[in-house]
Amino acid sequence: MKNRSGEKIKLTSIDELLGVVNEESAMEIEISKIHSFKNHPFKVLDDEKMQDLVESVKINGVLTPVLLRMDENEEYEMVSGHRRMHAAQLAGLTTIPAIVRELSNDDAIVAMVDANIQRHKHHIHGEEARCKRCFHILFHNPYTVC
């Protein structure tokens, strides 16, 4: 009998190939089934940055999943990603990639605040880099506009 070597091959999933086995994975959740975190302390502004995010979502989709948890009514509650969800709604999307995690109230608040701190740090570092670049350009050619 002929040995069928193809039967011995185990195909791996894309998650295994990318090294994310046993990690949380994102799933598409209907935006209409998500409600805001109770007493969410941060405001989502419809400013120029939001419009930039909306345009990015229209072109690329939502690249980073939002973080949700199930509340006491077994409904999805937004923990982190309010801006991304708002941009997705303005872009006309009906679903959003999300990670659903079991979180206590305290853990959810920590995750929400931490995500906002990280976003602000990223923004500050980006502004700092832009200022340094402008300084460098102006130092070498004072007639150049940054």
Residue with tokens 């949700």: 68
pLDDT per residue over 23-47, tens digit each?
A: 678 999 999 999 988 777 778 889 9
What is the per-residue burial (b if ≥16 Cβ within 10 Å, else e) of 81-111? bbbbbbbbebbebebbbbbbeebeeeebbeb
Instruction: Tell me the domains of the chain and their CATH numbers.
Output: 18-140 (3.90.1530.10)
pLDDT per residue over 98-128, tens digit each?
A: 999 999 888 888 888 887 777 665 444 455 5
> CA of 56: how far to CAs of 8, 78, 138, 141, in Å?
44, 21, 30, 32
User: Helix (H, G, I), strand (E, B), or coil: what is residue 6?
Assistant: helix
- What is the reported pTM? 0.66
